[in-house]
Structure 1
């Protein structure tokens, strides 16, 4: 199953917003600053990184790799962005090094792994919902004939993906078993 342009853009924007938010919050927590111009540039970088990967469902490994690369690019962008001299002097910010120390690397790594797991579970849930919706729409009859209570059971010829999408605790019929059973 492949995604259309609207779904691709929505997924890429969601990834870019989460990626930019994670990077900006981490950078601000580390004592850095993020100017609006740098944030917009970071959003464009994250969106450009995500858009080619949104054509189909991606697993945890692909999301982790993409998020790691985007976070590294945003770290470099935020670390090398020119600071306003009065703000840099007031905060004592000297975060201009490109290679993070061990504590920052561990914090970045932990945040990236947790965010990648969260995004990949959201990705899996989105695609599962779209698959179930497609099965429902493809197997939906055009006109519903009158249904007797005895005919409300799921037919044997129904695809297994449709049966798995049914609620598990729903009581289909409350009548006694049929004579054939």
Structure 2
């Protein structure tokens, strides 16, 4: 099932809002400074463009988490360089192998939790769309009238077969009240 443009844009917008919102919140929480409006616009537009291009079909949890990690890395670099000076100096981030373990752990936890959350939403949206599509298809397709049940007609014979009065060899007669054991 492929997504058309309105659904692609809606899914891309949700992904972008979550990515940019998470990035802004994390930077405000970690450093007390926020990014400039221009940096937010550039970051949001870049994430929106990439996610709209990739929103054509349902994505797995691993793909969503990987894309989220890449978007977070991009936004971390962009928003870290474009911090608003509100009286406090912007925190200097060093982007080398010796990055603070706490920051890396925070990014990993945020990526995994948010990736899981977005993947659950992705599964729910596509499940809902499949159900709606199946219901619409059933409504639009004329149903064939059910065939009347075929009831076999009894055969008419000249005379019924005579009963011989014999009891079959392997029959068990259980007619009458149960026999009580004698004490």
TM-score by length of 2: 0.71
Unaligned runs of 5+ in 2: 144-183
Give the match for residue 132 of structure 1. 131
Deviation string for 1:94-126 (max 9, x for gaps)? 234234411011001100100000000000000
Partner of 2:82: 81
Residue 61 of structure 1 deviates from its aligned partner by 0.5
Partner of 2:25: 25
Within a 5 Å distance, the mapping from 1:99-118 to structure 2 comes to 99=96, 100-118=99-117
Secondary structure of 2:52's aligned partner:
helix
How many residues are aligned here?
141
Q: Give the SS at the match of 2:90.
A: coil
- Show the counterpart of 1:38: 39
Q: Between Structure 1 and Structure 2, whose CA radius of gyration is higher?
A: 2
Shift of 1:53: 1.2
Quote how far apart the aligned CAs of 1:7 are: 0.5
* C-alpha contact (below 8 Å) 2:35/2:83 kept by paired residues: no
Does structure 1 conserve the Cα–Cα contact (< 8 Å) formed by 2:17 and 2:44? yes
More helix by share: 1
1:95 has 2:79 as partner: no
Aligned to 1:178: none
Aligned residues: CA RMSD? 2.0
1:16 and 2:16 aligned: yes
- Does the 8 Å contact 2:84/2:90 carry over to 1? no
Shift of 1:131: 0.3
Which region of structure 1 is more displaced relative to structure 2, 127-136 or 29-38?
29-38
SS of the residue corresponding to residue 139 of structure 1 reads helix
Q: CA deviation at 1:10?
A: 0.7
Give the Cα–Cα distance (whole angstroms) in 1 for the partners of residues 128 and 72 of structure 2. Answer: 29
Q: Structure 1 residue 7 and structure 2 residue 7: aligned?
A: yes
Q: CA deviation at 1:29?
A: 0.5
Return 5+ residue gaps in structure 1 as ranges. Answer: 145-181
The superposition leaves residues 14-46 of structure 1 with CA deviations (integer Å, 9 ceiling, x where unpaired) of: 100110000110011111321111111110121
> Do 1:20 and 1:42's aligned partners in 2 also have CA atoms closer than 8 Å?
yes
Q: Helix, strand or coil for the counterpart of 2:16?
A: helix
